[in-house]
Structure 1
Amino acid sequence: MAVEGFVFFILNLLIQYRFFMDNWFTKCPQTTVRDEDEDVAAERQRVYDGASKTDILQIRDLSKTYVGRKRAAVDRICVGVPAGECFGLLGVNGAGKTTTFKMLTGDSDVSSGEATVAGYSILTEILDVHQNMGYCPQFEAIDELLTGREHLYLYARLRGVPECEIPRVTEWGIQKLGLTEYAGRCAGTYSGGNKRKLSTAIAMIGCPALVLLDEPTTGMDPHSRRFLWNAIMSVIQDGRAVVLTSHSMEECEALCTRLAIMVNGTFKCLGTIQHLKYKFGDGYVVTMKMKAARAGVSLDLEPVESFMESSFPGCVQREKHYNTLQYEIASSSLARIFQLVVANKERLSIEDYSVSQTTLDQVFVNFAKQQTAEDEDATLNKRTAGRRKDVKILPLQRRTQKQRDDGHVEFRAANELCGVDLTLVSCSCGALDEADELISAAVGEQ
């Protein structure tokens, strides 16, 4: 019995520290994924080539398949997150975001692949990973009988903060997340928003190199949400890395430097927000406000509607109010839109108009349509006898460099023709250079 107890104890230690996985299963060959987006493939190759070694978070072919499931919950994802970056992980419920977080934190076993945090492997050095990682889970992991201040004291000690520094670090967390008024109250009495603040403060305590935030602003009012955004921005400015999941596109646009959209456990696109809008956008949204010929006369919007339908075949009317019309134009150059609207502005009594780019919400919805449940896959496979293929969202066709250079010449001519500065269009994210590239490519089609 003593010998058996000793043997099983040693075996338990080896399993706990993933000795067998480290020596037998962690040699990840370079895999090729079919129909992968070029940006996702480029990031995969960057990880394979070792260019991401200086990144705080490195994920290489990370996969998770649950027992009894044929389809992987997370399927060979690769990404590197450097210092000073907020990386957004988007996807519908069930896409694999939380499962990815659980593997990174050690809450869930890894089926295959590898990941490192500040150089420490999640397979063999999980205790060192925990010392360099802060995690705000999707659901609050707090003790309702402890106060907010006691929570931060507890987690500061677990993080290894020196005892003499704990009071100062705790007060920093309370001030940073705006919990001064509630710090002495039991966490069970907190509102949903304040619980999310406390969970985020716990994740940030001790200044970890990597902070994982799983839908941190759920249940928060707009004021508290923006307060938390400022706290997250300070983490990024300190040179640490943040990985954020959210269903708020506004939040992603405010915080994320890059993002990826997950569908069925894989990355379908990856890049900056402006790049994804430019590559996968559906066109433009034109909003026009009309003025009446004289006060008290009702507006007739039919001439404007006829003009839009004849000038832009296939355009979709999204909104119609008393004096406002909004259309979505799928395929047309930006210069042509301005030319036609400016030329007919007086005739149609257009008082004001605006042209905006496709929103991130629309890009997200286009990819989210591909998300399917495993039972749906099984049904479709039976119907099609294995011939079903995922629908691939293709980026818009882009011009060559020479065509873009020629487009800049036409762009200046379009500026003079329209009498407006087109470089100020579609720049809600401040990306004037990319907006200019977008306009130039569009004008090149003329």
Structure 2
Amino acid sequence: MLRKLLLIFPHYCLGRGLVDLALSQAVTDVYARFGEENSPNPFQWDLAGKKLVAMAAEGVLYFLLTLLIQHHFFLTRWIAEPTKEPVVDEDDDVAEERQRIVSGGNKADILSLNELTKVYSGTSSPAVDRLCMGVRPGECFGLLGVNGAGKTTTFKMLTGDTTVTSGNATVAGKSILTNISEVHQSMGYCPQFDAIDELLTGREHLYLYARLRGVPAEEMERVASGSIQSLGLSLYADRLAGTYSGGNKRKLSTAIALIGCPPLVLLDEPTTGMDPQSRRMLWNTIVSIIREGRAVVLTSHSMEECEALCTRLAIMARGTFQCLGTIQHLKYKFGDGYIVTMKIKSPQDDLLPDLNPVEQFFQGNFPGSVQRERHRNMLQFQVPASSLARIFRLLISHRDSLLIEEYSVTQTTLDQVFVNFAKQHTETHDLPLHPRAAGASRQAKV
């Protein structure tokens, strides 16, 4: 009975069939020693025939079952869509972008996300929570966020690597839910972790993906050589990818994503491990993509990179967009004023300058200002949002009396804006520490 039940497993059918054939051959050999003929048909029903028929039927059945699962036949019928609570306390710019997407104002966007949501099984809070955004042709959209904010999960949903819980996204007008094969044809993807074959050379990788992209055979040499040259892989193109450094592997992954000139390119931290020169070469490549009218979505932890490339960006936390807009707009809206850096000269060469008058001056004229740095003859203050003209007027008028040798006034950096959102994220997720753990607050015993 158990043998009949186990026939539903193909690997059991294969193993059991081989064992039965071996036993049948052993019996035939024993009869042959006594001079008797006993050679049963190996394909008879009770020997291997039953197993072969079972494997043939199971091959067709399991293939059809795989297709049904891949197209979410069972999921759409049996898994209820999670209830959507109204969005509250959303930033004005994020709400405006959501309204633009929902109202259908995204017809010209290469990439459009409409209420895109992902909830992993076993968790109650979504990893990605109703994202709405559109990326236009010729735009580089930056996606920033702390680790675990939902950036890579968003990319995985766009590429079909993970299922979408609710919502939808379109790439060049094709839905990722119903036309994922056509979406793949319009998309290039550089994953966070290099997906390369260590036994192939860099050039062989590019030939392979160029053939998969449908690049004509006569054009493959030119396409591969152009990618190798633009990303600085000329010295390593004919070496095995397993011998590459981390930076060169990132170059190769990026080159693979750019094969075939897809309208949309997704780059998940592409410059990790790259030296400054290689990073600049990649930046130039991304700029050329944007000038061609294609779109790039970039995730990075380098604020310098985002400022150099991104036309717009969004900061993610807890699976949602906390802010969205141009870099200058975000600095102005969420920045903490200005950074004033001064170098104080000493009245005598052998004495240190007295910095106390400068500190008193800032405390009196700029209430709420914070001293960020204090060195031998250098001071740096963070001044709350104030009139830039007033800051310069006061510094110029008191320059001689305060012995200010030189000074600079800069706007709040993108790093500071990002850190402010990151602090809000970590503060809301603080976990209670064990009383004996380092940093845990101890209550006095009465």
TM-score, reference length from structure 1:
0.80
| Partner Cα separation in structure 1 for residue 351 and residue 430 of structure 2 | 57
Q: CA deviation at 1:25?
A: 9.3
Q: CA deviation at 1:292?
A: 2.5
- The answer for the alignment partner of 2:235 in structure 1 is 181
2:423 counterpart of 1:369? yes
Any gaps of 5 or more consecutive residues in structure 2?
1-53, 434-446
2:300 counterpart of 1:246? yes
- The answer for the alignment partner of 1:142 in structure 2 is 196
Deviations along 1:391-425, one digit per CA (max 9) or x if unpaired, are: xxxxxxxxxxxxxxxxxxxxxxxxxxxxxxxxxxx
Q: CA deviation at 1:131?
A: 1.0
Residue among 95, 98, 103 paired with 2:149: 95
| Partner Cα separation in structure 1 for residue 93 and residue 356 of structure 2 | 44
| Partner Cα separation in structure 1 for residue 316 and residue 111 of structure 2 | 18
* Higher Rg: 2
Structure 1 range deviating more: 301-310 or 19-28: 19-28
| Partner Cα separation in structure 1 for residue 109 and residue 84 of structure 2 | 19
- The answer for the alignment partner of 1:303 in structure 2 is 357
- The answer for the alignment partner of 2:218 in structure 1 is 164
| Partner Cα separation in structure 2 for residue 345 and residue 55 of structure 1 | 52
Residue among 155, 159, 163 paired with 1:105: 159
- The answer for the alignment partner of 2:389 in structure 1 is 335
Residue among 367, 371, 379 paired with 1:313: 367
Q: CA deviation at 1:141?
A: 0.5
- The answer for the alignment partner of 2:318 in structure 1 is 264
2:380 counterpart of 1:326? yes
Deviations along 1:315-368, one digit per CA (max 9) or x if unpaired, are: 111111222111001243222212211111111111211111111111111111
Q: Secondary structure at the match of 2:425?
A: coil
Q: Secondary structure at the match of 2:195?
A: coil
Structure 1 residues 311 and 360, CA, compared in 2 at 3 Å: closer, same or farther? same
Structure 1 residues 25 and 336, CA, compared in 2 at 3 Å: closer, same or farther? farther
Q: Secondary structure at the match of 2:417?
A: helix
Residue among 271, 285, 289 paired with 1:235: 289
- The answer for the alignment partner of 1:389 in structure 2 is none
- The answer for the alignment partner of 1:155 in structure 2 is 209
Q: Secondary structure at the match of 1:370?
A: helix
| Partner Cα separation in structure 2 for residue 156 and residue 333 of structure 1 | 55
| Partner Cα separation in structure 2 for residue 80 and residue 99 of structure 1 | 17
Residue among 248, 258, 262 paired with 1:208: 262
Percent identity, aligned pairs only, is: 68
Deviations along 1:55-106, one digit per CA (max 9) or x if unpaired, are: 1101100000001001000000000001100000000000000000000000
Structure 1 residues 26 and 276, CA, compared in 2 at 3 Å: closer, same or farther? farther
Q: Secondary structure at the match of 2:262?
A: coil
Q: Secondary structure at the match of 2:235?
A: helix
- Map 1:109-120 to 2 at 5 A: 109-120=163-174
TM-score, reference length from structure 2:
0.80
| Partner Cα separation in structure 2 for residue 234 and residue 75 of structure 1 | 33
Q: CA deviation at 1:7?
A: 6.5
Q: CA deviation at 1:293?
A: 2.8
Residue among 216, 227, 245 paired with 1:191: 245
- The answer for the alignment partner of 1:413 in structure 2 is none
Any gaps of 5 or more consecutive residues in structure 1?
381-446
- The answer for the alignment partner of 1:392 in structure 2 is none
Residue among 32, 40, 49 paired with 2:103: 49
2:412 counterpart of 1:358? yes
- The answer for the alignment partner of 1:440 in structure 2 is none
Deviations along 1:26-56, one digit per CA (max 9) or x if unpaired, are: 9999984111111001101111111112111
Structure 1 range deviating more: 327-336 or 266-275: 327-336
Matched-pair contact (CA < 8 Å) for 1:289–1:323: yes
Total equivalences in the alignment:
379
| Partner Cα separation in structure 1 for residue 101 and residue 385 of structure 2 | 36
| Partner Cα separation in structure 1 for residue 386 and residue 306 of structure 2 | 28
| Partner Cα separation in structure 1 for residue 182 and residue 83 of structure 2 | 26
| Partner Cα separation in structure 1 for residue 394 and residue 332 of structure 2 | 23
Structure 1 residues 216 and 145, CA, compared in 2 at 3 Å: closer, same or farther? same
- The answer for the alignment partner of 1:344 in structure 2 is 398
